[in-house]
Amino acid sequence: MSPAGRRTLVTGGAGFLGSHLCEALLQRGADVLCVDNFHTGTRANIAALLPHPRFELLEHDVSVPLDVDVDRIFNLACPASPVHYQHDPVQTTKTCVQGAIHMLALAKARGARILQASTSEVYGDPEVHPQPESYWGRVNPIGMRSCYNEGKRCAETLFFDYRRQHDLEIKVVRIFNTYGPRMYPDDGRVVSNFIVQALRGEDITLYGDGSQTRSFCYVDDLIEALLASMDTPAAFTGPVNVGNPAELSMRELAELVLRLSGSRSRIVHQPLPADDPKLRRPDIGLAQRELGWNPKVPLEKGLLATIAYFRALLNFG
Ligand code: NAD
Ligand code: UDP
């Protein structure tokens, strides 16, 4: 279904994923309302969209109620990098939980369909590998990552309770590690850290022994999955995993970034942060079946595009 003629709200629309999503929605003919408090997002991310006649920006914090006329809501507002979400953990929980409550109330008031950007962090440090949606996870409720993990888990609960109590049309999408242009050079996530360090000739900071794994999805693939999820039949609620199942260790990632960037940086070890998951790879069978979706961009190609982005950003052209 084309979103043409619809007014679509994207919370967190000035962020890394949100700005790509706003752009894709405009390309598909939607009217887009971007709501953001610029906690981690930037005006630069959406600068090219501001003159667009179907794009509107509202500076607003989702932990405060909002009443706007929309018929679709993508709820992405929330800092995503561990450094950012741990900086003000109480605010992170408020954004996750109160943000979900307010956006669900808005969806109920307007009869809007609403999608939640959930996360692989709901699985915590998993004992089941790869992670299917049926796995309930292994999450520390009182650790450094809990503000985000438990906040996102509670948001999922709220989405399903609104579905049961108020018959809302919900979509819960569990996003696995995603990377690409518009990541921030200083947000502490591994892909941006390694690329920026490699380009600057600084040491590559590998946490722990580097044997922990992740599976990285290129941003363009992820946006396709979010759009496809929103357009699934009303009966499909998720939760659905979206990510690229190609898994590698952080040591392999460091070596790959060094090779692709032509850098001579050294790899140095730093302590592994608390509760850092040892393994992560999505089981995407459900997304393949229900969304008709598969990630298309191989890691090397996506990393080359991301390296080119950071080269230009950091003036290493
Ligand atoms: P990001 O930090 O770039 O974007 C988050 C955006 O939300 C920013 O623009 C920020 O200013 C805004 N925001 C934060 N708190 C807000 C509030 N209280 N009110 C209004 N706006 C607020 O992060 P991202 O990588 O673009 O992530 C977007 C969403 O996707 C998040 O919900 C995140 O949990 C989820 N997600 C991302 C990844 C990933 O790998 N990028 C993985 C799993 C889940
Ligand atoms: N990591 C690392 N060096 C860095 C940043 C992160 O080795 O400079 C590791 C981190 O310990 C984790 C993995 O890379 O095991 C992914 O970290 P990120 O913060 O990107 O995402 P998340 O842990 O939330 O998946």
Q: Is the pLDDT at 10 greater than 90, yes or no?
A: yes
Task: Determine the atom of ligand 1 nearest the C-alpha atom of 118.
Answer: 44
pLDDT value of residue 316: 75
205 Cβ below 6 A of ligand 2: yes
Q: How confident is the model at residue 315 (pLDDT cuts 50, 70, 90)?
A: confident
d(CA 309, CA 315): 10
Query: With contact defined as beta carbons under 8 Å apart, do 135 and 286 qualify?
Result: no
Q: Is the pLDDT at 6 greater than 90, yes or no?
A: no
Residue nearest to atom 12 of ligand 2 (CA): 276
93 Cβ below 6 A of ligand 2: no
Task: Determine the atom of ligand 2 nearest the C-alpha atom of 83.
Answer: 19
- For the chain, what is the mean pLDDT? 96
276 Cβ below 6 A of ligand 2: yes
The one catalytic residue among 85, 123, 148, 179: 148
Question: CB 191: neighbour CB atoms within 10 A?
Answer: 23
Structure tokens at 67: 């009443």
d(CA 221, CA 99): 26
148 belongs to the catalytic site = yes
* Residue 31 CA to ligand 1 centre (angstroms): 21
* Residue 160 CA to ligand 2 centre (angstroms): 30
Question: What's the mean pLDDT in 212-219?
Answer: 98
pLDDT value of residue 5: 53
Question: What's the mean pLDDT in 70-96?
Answer: 97
* Residue 89 CA to ligand 2 centre (angstroms): 18
Q: Is the pLDDT at 137 greater than 90, yes or no?
A: yes
In 3D, which of 217, 118, 208 has the Cα closest to residue 158?
Answer: 118
Phi, psi values for residue 185, rounded to 5° = -65, -25
* Residue 299 CA to ligand 1 centre (angstroms): 22
pTM summary value? 0.97
